[in-house]
Structure formats: C-alpha cells, structure tokens
Amino acid sequence: MAGERRRATAVDVARLAGVSQSAVSRCFTEGASVSAETRSRVLEAARRLSYRPNAIARSLTTRRTNLIGVVMGDLDGPFQPYLFETLTRGLASRGRQPLLVRGDPADALDGTAMAALDYQVDAVVVTAGSVSPAAIRGLMALGVPLLLYGRAVEADGVDSICCDNPLGARLVAQALAAAGHRRIAYLGGRPTAFSEQERGSAFRAALAELGLPLAAAGEGDYSYDSGHREALRLLAGPDRPDALFCGNDAMAFGALDAARTALGLRVPDDLSIVGFDDVPMAGWPSFSLTTIRNPVEDIVAILLDMLERRLADPDAPPVLHRPPPLLVRRGSARL
C-alpha cells in the first residue's frame, strides 16, 4: 500500500552505520565479538530506524528459537493459569518465551507434544496428562528435551518434577486428627489424574494409620462446580462429616460456598474444609482457605534449572525432584 512504512532490515542498519551486515548480526548476538565503536554505531542506527532483530532469521543460524513448548490441559480453574503465569515470568527472565499448546489432560498427549515441534521449539514442557514411551523416543531422536511437571516419572532422557503429594495429604490427615476431628471426608478429583492417585491413596492410608475411618468420599473433576455439587451430597445426611479435605483448591472453594450459603453451616465451627495447591485466591478474605501449598515458585525455578541443564547436555542422566509442600493454616479449618 502506498505510503506504508517498510520495516527496517539488517541491511538498512548496516548501510546507515557504515558496517557489514554480519557486524550488525554480531551486535545482536549474545557473546559475539564486536568492537565497542562498531556496537555503538550499530545500536544508534538501529534506534534511528526502529530496527528489531528477526528472531526467526536468527534461529536459522543459531539453531535455537528460545521458544519452549508448554503443553497444558484445562485452563478454566485457578491453578493452571497461575502455573503458566509463573512459568512465563521465569522463562522471560532467562531470555525464553513459551508457546502454549492445549491438550486434553484425560488423554495421552503424544500428538499434542509432537505438534509443538511444528514451531521449532527448543524443548517441550508437559504440565498435564501423560506422554507415551514412543513419543518420548521420538522427541529424543529429534534432539528436543522433554520435561514433565506434575508427574513423577523415571525414564531415560526425561526430567520431571512434582510436589510431594503423599506428604501433603498426610499433613492434612494428621492436622485434622490432632484437632479432634473424627468424621473426616475426602473429595477427590479425576481418578486417572496422577495427583489424585497420590493424594487420595496417601490420605486414606494416613487416616488408617491414625485409626480413623474415612467417613465419606466424593469424586469431582477439579472444578468449582463439582466441589459445590459433591459437597451438597456429602454434607446433606444426618451423620454429617466434621471435616472435608478436597483434592484441590477449586473444589474447596465450591465446597465452602455450598456449606455456608446452601446449607447454612458455620465454617470452621461446624465443618473444617482444607484444599490443596494454595492458589492466590485461597488467601482472599472471602475464602481464607486452609490448604496445602504446592510450591509453584520453587518448582518453576527448579524446572528452569533442569531445562538449562538439559539443553546444555542432552545426554545428562534424568532427574526427578519432589519438593515438599507446606500446610497453610487460615480460617476455613479448626486446627
């Protein structure tokens, strides 16, 4: 279109600065050798022309795009967006950018993980679902590191990190029992989810070790609505539980609203409610949710260190980290 301003190129910058195009490229390549005088002239020319380096063109030379494929499942709840925002900040601090790829956490994510390769990502981080051994081998053959968040996997070439879910569940059981609760119920998430398998089984085992039966159990899908629905069912009977542990915070929020608004219960006097994850909303005064802190900030920092290590040494032995969670006491539980 006539009058439309053309985007400046490296050739334009080189011409204005009176240097070669390769000198311009070196000025915008970290660690490249270039004199102070040349750099100054190039940067001034770039400023005058509003020039920005072409990351795609640069990647053809460096074979690095600094793009990290991030495979995520459901983004409707509070935890996954919180995780993605934390991961995005961490990647940006290291000069990298996320490429979000949506997948169904209920299914194997082979196709989704491999689809990220269409965008020439430097690595793939899977935060939900599972990846088959065949897909892992395919990624390894292409030299693309695979990191798993939220699953404890021991496989060659795969680094994984997951909070210690069993420890978190045991902390809840012990705290509720120590506070005198005897009719303790559990509201779990999807049975196929790795976190649910660990949290649910550990909670039941911990109650048994304490000599307490599980008073009631429900199955949600990690959503607010399922927490509200299942809480109404679990708390409606005459022998109502005096404590409810929910497999994540979103279901705990739903349970809190069901108990207080729909059933008129006093929380925590009539009923203690505990969640898992400690998303930012858990600290809001309207919820004041006692919960298990899934240490996302620490986990992301470790994950990024794992990523840098794997990119630097693709043949390094796999690592598995299980950061410990923390019981955060607020107003929703009598502990």
Q: For 88-98, what is the mean pLDDT?
A: 92
pLDDT at residue 83, rounded to an integer: 93
Asked if 22 and 33 touch (Cβ cutoff 8 Å), the reply is: no
DSSP letter assigned to residue 192: T
pLDDT at residue 135, rounded to an integer: 66
Question: Which amino acid appears at position 161 of this protein?
Answer: I
Question: What pLDDT digit, counting tens, does each position of 119-133 carry?
Answer: 788 898 988 655 666
Residues 159 and 171 in one domain: no
For residues 332 and 103, the model is more confident at 332
Per-residue HEC secondary structure of 74-110 comes to CCCCCHHHHHHHHHHHHHHHCCCEEEEEECCCCCECH
Among 143-147, 251-255, 305-309, the range with the most confident prediction by mean pLDDT is 251-255
Residues 124 and 169 in one domain: no
- C-alpha 331/C-alpha 335 separation (Å) is 9
Q: Give yes or no for residue 1 having a pLDDT over 60.
A: no
pLDDT at residue 2, rounded to an integer: 47
Which domain-ending residue is among 19, 36, 62? 62
Number of domains in the chain: 3
pLDDT at residue 22, rounded to an integer: 82
C-alpha closest to that of 214 among 224, 202, 232, 223: 202
Q: What is the spatial order of strands in the sheet that 67-72 belongs to?
A: 97-102, 67-72, 123-126, 146-149, 158-161, 320-321
DSSP letter assigned to residue 5: P
Q: Give yes or no for residue 290 having a pLDDT over 80.
A: yes
Classify residue 305: in a domain, yes or no: yes
pLDDT at residue 63, rounded to an integer: 59
For residues 167 and 107, the model is more confident at 167
| Lowest mean pLDDT segment, chosen from 30-39, 135-144, 247-256, 275-284 | 135-144
Residues 195 and 254 in one domain: yes
Q: Give yes or no for residue 173 having a pLDDT over 90.
A: yes
| Lowest mean pLDDT segment, chosen from 11-20, 183-192, 204-213, 259-268 | 11-20
Tokens of 108: 């194997």
**For residue 257, what is the enclosing H or E element?**
helix 249-257
Q: For 18-45, what is the mean pLDDT?
A: 83
Classify residue 252: in a domain, yes or no: yes
Classify residue 16: in a domain, yes or no: yes
Residues 234 and 144 in one domain: no
Residues 169 and 290 in one domain: yes
**Residue 50 — very low, low, confident or very high, per pLDDT cuts 50/70/90?**
confident
- C-alpha 78/C-alpha 215 separation (Å) is 28
Domain with 74, as residue range(s), is 67-163+296-323
Question: What pLDDT digit, counting tens, does each position of 98-120 carry?
Answer: 988 876 655 555 666 667 777 78
Classify residue 2: in a domain, yes or no: no
Residues 29 and 96 in one domain: no
Q: For 32-61, what is the mean pLDDT?
A: 75
Classify residue 113: in a domain, yes or no: yes
Classify residue 1: in a domain, yes or no: no
**91-95 CB contacts, 8 Å cutoff, 24+ apart:** 91/304, 94/304, 94/308, 95/30, 95/66
**Residue 240 backbone phi and psi in degrees, to 5:** -65, 140
Tokens of 267: 């929380």
Residues 156 and 77 in one domain: yes
Residues 268 and 206 in one domain: yes
Q: Give yes or no for residue 293 having a pLDDT over 50.
A: yes
Taking CA atoms, 272 is separated from 188, 211, 240, in Å, by: 16, 19, 12
- C-alpha 97/C-alpha 83 separation (Å) is 15
- C-alpha 264/C-alpha 278 separation (Å) is 25
Asked if 163 and 325 touch (Cβ cutoff 8 Å), the reply is: yes
Q: CATH number of the domain that 264 lies in?
A: 3.40.50.2300
Residues 129 and 93 in one domain: yes
Residues 181 and 250 in one domain: yes
Residues 300 and 196 in one domain: no
Q: How many CB atoms lie within 10 A of CB 244?
A: 35
For residues 323 and 76, the model is more confident at 323
Q: For 243-267, what is the mean pLDDT?
A: 97
Residues 170 and 287 in one domain: yes
**For residue 69, what is the enclosing H or E element?**
strand 67-72
pLDDT, mean over the chain: 87
**In 120-228, beta strands by DSSP E:** 123-126, 146-149, 158-161, 184-188, 214-219
| Lowest mean pLDDT segment, chosen from 49-63, 76-90, 276-290, 312-326 | 49-63
Q: CATH number of the domain that 55 lies in?
A: 1.10.260.40
Asked if 313 and 273 touch (Cβ cutoff 8 Å), the reply is: no
Classify residue 44: in a domain, yes or no: yes
**Residue 192 — very low, low, confident or very high, per pLDDT cuts 50/70/90?**
confident
pLDDT at residue 55, rounded to an integer: 57
Classify residue 225: in a domain, yes or no: yes
**Residue 174 — very low, low, confident or very high, per pLDDT cuts 50/70/90?**
very high
Q: Give yes or no for residue 188 having a pLDDT over 60.
A: yes
- C-alpha 130/C-alpha 109 separation (Å) is 6
Q: Which residue has the tokens 């915070």?
A: 249
